[in-house]
Amino acid sequence: MTEPKDPNPSNDEEEFDPLTDREDEAADDTVRLALHTKILIGLGVGAILGIGANTFSASNPAINEKVMWIAKYVSDPLGQVFLRMLFMVVVPLVFASLALGVAQLGDLKKLGRIGLKVMLYFLLVSAIAVMIGLSLVNTIRPGVGFSPEIQSQLMETFGKEAEQKGELAKSDQAFGVNTFVNIVPRNPIDAAAKTDMLAVIFFALVFGIALTLIPREKSEHVQKLLDGVGEVIIKIVGFAMQLAPFAVAALIFSTTARFGWGVLRSLLWYAICVLAGLAIHQFVVYSILVKIFARLNPLEFFRRITPVMITAFSTSSSNATLPTSIKAAEEELGVPPQIAGFVLPLGATMNMNGTALFEGVTCVFIAQVFGIHLGIGEQLVVVLLSVLMAVGAAGVPGGSIPLLMIVLSTIGVPPGGIAIILGVDRILDMSRTVPNVTGDLTCACFIARSEGVELMTSQAKG
């Protein structure tokens, strides 16, 4: 039961230094800003410059032409390089993390009972999170706040890509019976080349299950390879995140320079919508789950995991938070090491409740911005894809962005529209990591209780 610990968290903190600017070798930490601080500064600078440019160019065609030239040939390309660096790792990211996560279940006959409970819990809670997000975004409708002028400018900017995705929606790749048939790929390499992520996810799941059924001396070499691929991808995402302060400044400049305060007002409601959904899921849904399934006092539970929540918020990384999560589960919550070592590493890879909620809200929001109506059927697809894509998301800053673009593409919404929300994504990334790691801990408590373990906080329950 303790085997799944080995591939994951022993050196996470060291590996994630590029993403969090925690460079132990640097002696000048006093003058080194944290990455999230740099990104917030970039956000502020980009917004101020963009709003200023929009204000001064509104009544001066000559200045407006120069501003649009800068947006088209400077800020937009820089932002696109950042997006493409994230997008290019989608397929290896999903395959390596998902196949390795399934393989870490070990012997299916031995771990089948616990594994089934863990997976059902992950999927159910993620689905609840997405539905909370969809309820809020359909009620608040933050994307409808754009003026007709801004909507027309958005359609002009992304019109060609929207048409291409509209044609894709009419093809046999659109949602329907063929969607479920195409989940099983004829050629997984071809599916990867076409970024058919449902097919890639299915193949990764089957591949991971098969790894657990072959002799360990053979499977461990493949698992090490997958683990190595995952480490390489983390480094690549780290490279991309080093561009994030400049890319965020560039993207928010392009957006605000074109659309001014109207976009910011709409983004404010969008951010409020996401944060409200995360808060409801964190403090209402998890409190109910902890009380019912783990029979714990919710207030005591949250008090004991406060360091975990702070670490998650500050690093924006489920994987970087993993050592803190395991320590809290064992020492504060009384979860046995074998259960904590099994559930939490798996959860850091496969259980992204906050990310699923964020993806659901963002898909509908961007669809609203572009005037694309998503009916009940399409929104059910958003629920399904958000849950599945959250499973494949890496537990690193920015890890969900490339997968979100796949969800947008699948439902016929221009994936380039993701640039609209990147200006506020950093604070949302920090916030959604908190329910991601909290969900892992609630699952560990549930599994421990279901296996007859008397948890530490049960003594304090009300």
304, amino acid identity:
R
pLDDT, tens digit only, all 462 positions of the chain? 444 444 444 444 444 444 444 444 444 444 567 665 776 788 788 878 888 888 887 778 888 888 888 888 888 888 778 767 766 776 787 677 667 766 765 666 655 777 788 888 988 998 899 999 999 998 988 877 666 666 555 455 544 443 443 344 344 444 445 656 877 888 988 888 876 766 777 788 788 888 888 888 888 888 889 888 877 877 776 787 778 788 878 877 877 777 666 555 657 888 899 999 999 999 999 999 999 998 889 999 998 888 888 777 766 777 667 767 878 888 888 888 767 767 777 777 678 888 889 888 988 888 887 777 877 877 888 888 777 766 655 444 455 666 677 777 777 777 777 767 766 776 788 788 899 999 999 999 998 888 777 776 444 444
H helices of 261-400, in order, are 261-280, 286-293, 298-304, 306-315, 318-331, 337-350, 353-369, 376-392
Tokens 């968290």, residue located: 9
Q: Which domains does the chain have, with CATH numbers?
A: 3-23+30-460 (1.10.3860)
What DSSP state is assigned to residue 159? H
Q: b/e map of 133-169 (b: 16 or more CB within 10 Å)?
A: bbebbeebebbebbeeebbebbeebbeeebeebeeeb
Q: Which residue, among 379, 351, 327, has the nearest Cα to 438 in the 3D structure?
A: 351
User: What local confidence, expressed as pLDDT, does residue 239 receive?
Assistant: 80
Q: Which residue, among 145, 1, 153, has the nearest Cα to 68 in the 3D structure?
A: 153
Q: b/e map of 111-126 (b: 16 or more CB within 10 Å)?
A: beebbebbbebbbebb
User: What local confidence, expressed as pLDDT, does residue 425 receive?
Assistant: 73
User: What local confidence, expressed as pLDDT, does residue 77 receive?
Assistant: 87
Residues 6+ apart with CB under 8 A from 204: 94, 95, 98, 99, 102, 392
176, amino acid identity:
G
Do the beta carbons of residue 418 and residue 401 sit within 8 Å? yes
**3-class secondary structure, 216:** helix
Rounded to two decimals, the pTM is 0.60
User: What local confidence, expressed as pLDDT, does residue 173 receive?
Assistant: 45
CA angle 34, 390, 392 (to 5 degrees): 90
Q: Which residue, among 208, 272, 196, has the nearest Cα to 427 in the 3D structure?
A: 272
Do the beta carbons of residue 42 and residue 349 sit within 8 Å? no
Do the beta carbons of residue 116 and residue 450 sit within 8 Å? no
User: What local confidence, expressed as pLDDT, does residue 119 receive?
Assistant: 83
Do the beta carbons of residue 372 and residue 151 sit within 8 Å? no
Do the beta carbons of residue 389 and residue 359 sit within 8 Å? yes
Angle between helices 401-410 and 376-392 (to 10 degrees): 150
Residues 6+ apart with CB under 8 A from 250: 46, 74, 75, 76, 78, 79
Q: How far is 362 from 270, CA to CA, in rounded Å?
A: 8
User: What local confidence, expressed as pLDDT, does residue 151 receive?
Assistant: 55
